[in-house]
Amino acid sequence: MNGMHSATITLIRIINVTVTDDTLAVDLEDGRSIAIPIGWYPRLAYGSPAERANFQISGAGYGIHWPDLDEDIGVAGILQGKKSSESQRSFERWLKKRRIKPND
């Protein structure tokens, strides 16, 4: 193998999600619970408590979707400790759209 090692992550399904002002916590089917700083996901951090509470466990349990925030987080990224990879420019466009809602 030429000294190369590849890491394989076995995906485990998400069975429960809790979002607070500070933390995104997921419970996995293998018994682990993982807590992540909400600041790793700016859209969640800027979302209201109601928006953060409106999520679906998606992709047969391998992801979480927040329709109000247009945010998707996969279990693979959570297990790898990956922060949001959204660019600052994209995030700023998203923030601007949120401020221009017709019923504000």
Domain annotation covers residue 8: no
Domain annotation covers residue 9: no
Domain annotation covers residue 5: no
Domain annotation covers residue 3: no
| CATH number of domain containing 51 | 3.30.2020.40
Domain annotation covers residue 6: no
Confidence bin at 80 (pLDDT 50/70/90): very high
Residue range 19-54, pLDDT digits in tens: 999 999 999 999 999 999 999 999 999 999 999 999
Domain annotation covers residue 104: no
CB of 72 closer than 8 Å to CB of 63: yes
**42 vs 44: CA distance, rounded Å:** 5
**Is residue 1's pLDDT more than 50?**
no
Domain hosting 71: range is: 14-99
Domain annotation covers residue 4: no
**5 vs 11: CA distance, rounded Å:** 19
Domain annotation covers residue 7: no
Residue range 15-25, pLDDT digits in tens: 999 999 999 99
**What is the domain count for the chain?**
1
Residue 93 Cα to chain centre, angstroms: 19
